[in-house]
Structure 1
Amino acid sequence: MPKNKSSLKMSPRQRVISKPRNYVFCYYVSGHGYGHATRVVQVASEILSLTRKHTLYIISNAPQFIFQGAINLGAKYRHALIDAGVQQPRAYTVDRYKTIEDLKTFLENRPEMIDRETAWLKEVKADIVLSDAPFLPCAAAFATGIPSAIVSNFTFDAVYNGLREGDDLDITINRLVEQVVEDYKKSELLIRLPGYIPMPSYSGTQLYPDLNVSVKPKLLNNGCSSVTNHNNRRNVVDVPLVVRKSKTPRDKVLSNLDIPKEIYDTHKILLVSFGGQNLVGIEDWGNPLPNGWIAIVCGDPKIKLPEKFYVCPRDAYIPDLTNAADAVMGKLGYGTCSECIGHKKPFIYVPRPQFIEELGLKRLMEIQGSSVEMPKEHFETGKWKNYILKAYGMPGVCEDVNKRLTHDGGKISAKLLENFLDNRVVTQRKSKNTNGFPLSKGAVAQLSYI
């Protein structure tokens, strides 16, 4: 029976796209802090919400409950140690010696871990590895023969480099970071989130913080964008804010914390997102809050808190609390910053000079939100009042509507990744020597750049 004439006129790309595949995504997530996990939930949920029925695995040593939103949509969780992370005695300090010792031990076990992950990726028939932002999964994907993409605002090679202080430890740091950079170089694509810093494995990103820099896909004559492969040039695509939004009305959120209505109706609310481990000594501070304020503390602290302080459960949905608050206090982490911007809340932060990621996040807050810096000495002695009042007088959001980032970075990332795989299939069928992977115009039409 002769083929339909119209099908004969279709290009190889059109014939493949007319029979779209369902892909297997393997999303590796650092267990260092919850910020990686919370934004991965958003991107993973968007992938699972696409029209096609993709399979998605989340691999992390972060606890499973953080990923529950994506698991509810079908994500499969696998607990595994896949990164060395950073050792932080407190939310705003780094133990550089222990961090580098852990990295050294991790890299000594790298061959065995690569073999383990390669075998598992083959077992689940993975099509792509996503990383936020461990380096080893990029090497495992390369060894398996599949692509990998980093979805993050920073990579850990930059973090480890930021721990150099001009002493003998720097020699070890430089040696170890060389291997970390090489593993990241095996990725084919960087989906760069707002609040980024330079990423040593991607040339061109070192130009930050030049405000004129924006790394964009090259547009072809047909209006499509081009992503090139690992053997030629690796591309950076900037996306808008990936942010979780509140789901529960304010009154219900506060009532569930056993805060009386007559209290939350007559008081301003400070959300303290450090957790209880950083409030040791609070019994000696007096009242650190301005008159007419109460505080909600995240992290279920195991210490006695003073009057006007309330505790939220360990697994509380933080965007609901952020939306219910009038100001937020914490560290410069991606999850906190994005959720403050997304809910128009001013932010009081204690700096972390040893953690280089905060340079990009500080800039993000300056452009897109409102922030006040509090010295750690004032935080640790309860001298909060002036900082809280200063923050409360700020808008919490970029006042120039034309300069605001949109909040659909998760949706755009999901569609971009799906199109990346579609076009990779087409390109591989056409020729092994073809370098360009054209992305459909729709996948990048809404891209915003910071």
Structure 2
Amino acid sequence: MRFAFYVSGHGFGHATRVAAVTTELLQAGHEVTVVTNAPEIPFASILPPSALPAAARDVANPGPSSAPLKRYATYRKRNVDAGIVQPKAYDVDRRATYEVLKRFLDAREETLEEEVAWLKEAGMDAVLSDATFLGCAAAAGAGIPAIIISNFTFDSCYSYLSHPSLPSSTSAETLEPPLDPAILDPLVDQTIADYACASLLLRLPGVIPLPAFDSDVPMPSGRWVSDDRTTFVPEIEAILSRPTSTIPSAQRGRTVVDVPLIVRPPSPSANMPEFRQDLLSSMGVPDYLLNSKVLLVSFGGQAIPRPRSRPPSPLSSPIRRSTSATSSLSLDVPQNERREAGLLPKGWIAIVTGLSGGDNAIRDDLPYGFFASEKDVYVPDLTWVADCVLGKLGYGTCSETLSCRTPFIYVPRPLFVEEFGLKRLMQARGISLELDRADFEAGRWEFHIEEAYEQGRAAKEEARKLGFVDERAGEVIRKEIEAFMEQWQGK
């Protein structure tokens, strides 16, 4: 069968999980064309060897070497996704995002006409979407099914931009006024209508309501979260917990299937002591630090603070500490805590990803004990080797820390409603602690690292004894797609 895989260009996670699913489809003999506004590099592992220069393929980090694919995907670059504008890894520019979305939808009819014509001309059997709304609408126009493979859709992210920021926010960026629903809602409604063209939803872990399928969910999406922005409200928890057969769209013949976590596995030898030493040495870690505990800082170009000596001060965010062997965990900083909160605990080093290029200003100004990963390092290997990860709640980081059982410290992203689903996933399946952005930007990391490490230590040690366990999500998803297509073609 021939599949057109419409892929969002927003963030690296979409590309990596699309590559995993596409590999399974290609190995089974299907044809796949990737349609995206993202560059080719993240898809290097599924494109022909001649599609990218050798240097570009190195940057792509395709992962552990494997046998050549039986066939390769085709790459087709088109502007099929509006995405979200981010001035920082954990911020959203509301106004700029609205303007990009409006321009994209103003050109919708023209773009849609082009995509429908191409789908027909190319003889595509179905559209797969992660998670572009235009691809779903194009499939409907071409008379073929659309299948969404995701834990969220962008309609809810856009809708959330009309939600006010918390008054106690510590950052000027998050105080940007909310968008007027009168101008935002019509755009959101169009994206929901386009997503509703899909016939099958393969729902990944970390899910939030998808309005095109959960048609009874209240809108705007700001109504989904508690007043303190920490959890979903009970109504949304109930919607996410109900059987898929009771979802309104399922009762109208549109199917929802829950599938496993898509994850990039570490290299087969990643659990060997010599692998760890070679990996750290390749990043300039000296011999006398090779036995240090490792913090992986995974932000992608985020500046590392340089805290200077100062008197101890209270933390902005709580630390989880046991008050006794039998009591529950306390969220209060102990009154007798007098140490200064620095960057790293004693005996730790940090590896920072996303700083490729020898002239990178951040790379050239890292604090003592911090080392930049090389551009061609395979991040799941670092996640496996690491004793703790610091980053943002993105799908790729969550899936890899969970599968490697590495404790995770995250800096919240106030305007990403997707985050609440990922936080829910991490609380259910892993060890995760929140680091307030004020403490992150001031370099007050130390206590959080110690606490996350202690909470996740036993699970991490067990993972290193047992080795990596693959949920084989790509295979599961491929079989679901094939079963659906067999049923569709038999109608």
Gaps of 5+ in 1: 1-22, 219-226, 428-450
Residues 91 and 278, structure 1, Cα contact 8 Å, conserved in 2: no
In the TM superposition, residue 324 of structure 1 has moved relative to its aligned partner by: 1.4
In the TM superposition, residue 208 of structure 1 has moved relative to its aligned partner by: 3.6
Q: In the alignment, what sits opposite 1:11?
A: none
Superimposed CA distance per residue, residues 219-274 of structure 1 (whole angstroms, 9 cap, x where no aligned partner): xxxxxxxx99999421111111111110153423323323234422x201111001
In the alignment, is residue 291 of structure 1 matched against residue 346 of structure 2?
yes
Q: In the alignment, what sits opposite 2:89?
A: 91
Which residue identity lines up with residue 46 of structure 2 in the other structure?
A
How far apart in 2 are the matches of 1:131 and 1:253? 35
Change (3 A) 1:138 1:285: farther
2:421 partner SS: helix
* Equivalent position to 1:127, from 125, 130, 136: 125
Q: In the alignment, what sits opposite 1:447?
A: none
Matches within 5 A, 1:134-213: 134-165=132-163, 169-203=180-214, 206=217, 208-210=236-238, 213=241
Residues 200 and 256, structure 2, Cα contact 8 Å, conserved in 1: yes
1:162 partner SS: helix
How far apart in 1 are the matches of 2:432 and 2:153? 24
2:490 partner SS: helix
Residues 86 and 92, structure 2, Cα contact 8 Å, conserved in 1: yes
2:241 partner SS: coil
How far apart in 1 are the matches of 2:413 and 2:147? 28
Q: In the alignment, what sits opposite 2:40?
A: 64
* Equivalent position to 2:294, from 269, 291, 295: 269
In the alignment, is residue 282 of structure 1 matched against residue 290 of structure 2?
no
> Which stretch has the larger CA shift, 378-387 or 75-84?
75-84
Which residue identity lines up with residue 31 of structure 2 in the other structure?
T
In the TM superposition, residue 375 of structure 1 has moved relative to its aligned partner by: 0.2
Residues 328 and 340, structure 1, Cα contact 8 Å, conserved in 2: yes
Superimposed CA distance per residue, residues 424-444 of structure 1 (whole angstroms, 9 cap, x where no aligned partner): 1122xxxxxxxxxxxxxxxxx
Superimposed CA distance per residue, residues 150-185 of structure 1 (whole angstroms, 9 cap, x where no aligned partner): 100000001111111365622111111011111001
Which residue identity lines up with residue 243 of structure 2 in the other structure?
V
Matches within 5 A, 1:7-86: 23-50=1-28, 53-71=29-47, 73=69, 74-86=72-84
How far apart in 1 are the matches of 2:43 and 2:31? 15
In the alignment, is residue 411 of structure 1 matched against residue 475 of structure 2?
yes
Root-mean-square deviation (CA, aligned residues, Å) is 2.8
Change (3 A) 1:85 1:284: farther
Change (3 A) 1:204 1:367: farther
How far apart in 2 are the matches of 1:24 and 1:198? 29
Residues 90 and 278, structure 1, Cα contact 8 Å, conserved in 2: no
Percentage identity across paired residues of the two chains: 44
1:114 partner SS: helix
In the TM superposition, residue 315 of structure 1 has moved relative to its aligned partner by: 4.6
Displaced runs of 4 or more, over 6 A = 227-231, 398-401
In the TM superposition, residue 210 of structure 1 has moved relative to its aligned partner by: 2.2
Change (3 A) 1:406 1:267: closer
How far apart in 2 are the matches of 1:385 and 1:411? 40
How far apart in 2 are the matches of 1:146 and 1:382? 52
How far apart in 1 are the matches of 2:481 and 2:293? 42
Matches within 5 A, 1:234-383: 234-247=254-267, 249=270, 250-251=275-276, 252-264=278-290, 266-279=291-304, 281-282=305-306, 288-300=343-355, 301-303=360-362, 304-383=365-444
Which residue identity lines up with residue 282 of structure 1 in the other structure?
R
In the TM superposition, residue 407 of structure 1 has moved relative to its aligned partner by: 2.1
Gaps of 5+ in 2: 49-68, 165-177, 218-234, 311-341, 464-468
Which residue identity lines up with residue 149 of structure 1 in the other structure?
I
> Which stretch has the larger CA shift, 54-63 or 70-79?
70-79
Change (3 A) 1:358 1:229: closer
Residues 410 and 434, structure 2, Cα contact 8 Å, conserved in 1: yes
In the TM superposition, residue 285 of structure 1 has moved relative to its aligned partner by: 8.0
Residues 209 and 240, structure 2, Cα contact 8 Å, conserved in 1: no
Superimposed CA distance per residue, residues 357-388 of structure 1 (whole angstroms, 9 cap, x where no aligned partner): 00000010000111010000000010000010
Change (3 A) 1:305 1:43: same
How far apart in 2 are the matches of 1:395 and 1:383? 20
Superimposed CA distance per residue, residues 310-334 of structure 1 (whole angstroms, 9 cap, x where no aligned partner): 1113453211111111110000011
Change (3 A) 1:89 1:389: same
1:27 partner SS: strand
How far apart in 1 are the matches of 2:44 and 2:280? 22
2:262 partner SS: coil
2:79 partner SS: coil
Could you tell me the TM-score, scaled by structure 2's length? 0.74
How far apart in 2 are the matches of 1:375 and 1:426? 53
Residues 413 and 419, structure 2, Cα contact 8 Å, conserved in 1: yes
Residues 213 and 249, structure 2, Cα contact 8 Å, conserved in 1: no
How far apart in 2 are the matches of 1:205 and 1:49? 39
Residues 285 and 381, structure 1, Cα contact 8 Å, conserved in 2: no
How far apart in 1 are the matches of 2:190 and 2:425? 30
In the TM superposition, residue 119 of structure 1 has moved relative to its aligned partner by: 2.1
Matches within 5 A, 1:219-238: 232-238=252-258
Change (3 A) 1:96 1:267: same
Residues 47 and 415, structure 1, Cα contact 8 Å, conserved in 2: no
How far apart in 1 are the matches of 2:79 and 2:378? 25
Q: In the alignment, what sits opposite 1:426?
A: 490
Residues 186 and 230, structure 1, Cα contact 8 Å, conserved in 2: no
2:162 partner SS: coil
Residues 129 and 135, structure 2, Cα contact 8 Å, conserved in 1: yes
Which residue identity lines up with residue 197 of structure 1 in the other structure?
I
In the TM superposition, residue 417 of structure 1 has moved relative to its aligned partner by: 0.2
Which residue identity lines up with residue 39 of structure 1 in the other structure?
R
Change (3 A) 1:180 1:368: same
Could you tell me the TM-score, scaled by structure 1's length? 0.81
How far apart in 2 are the matches of 1:277 and 1:391? 21
Residues 215 and 248, structure 2, Cα contact 8 Å, conserved in 1: no
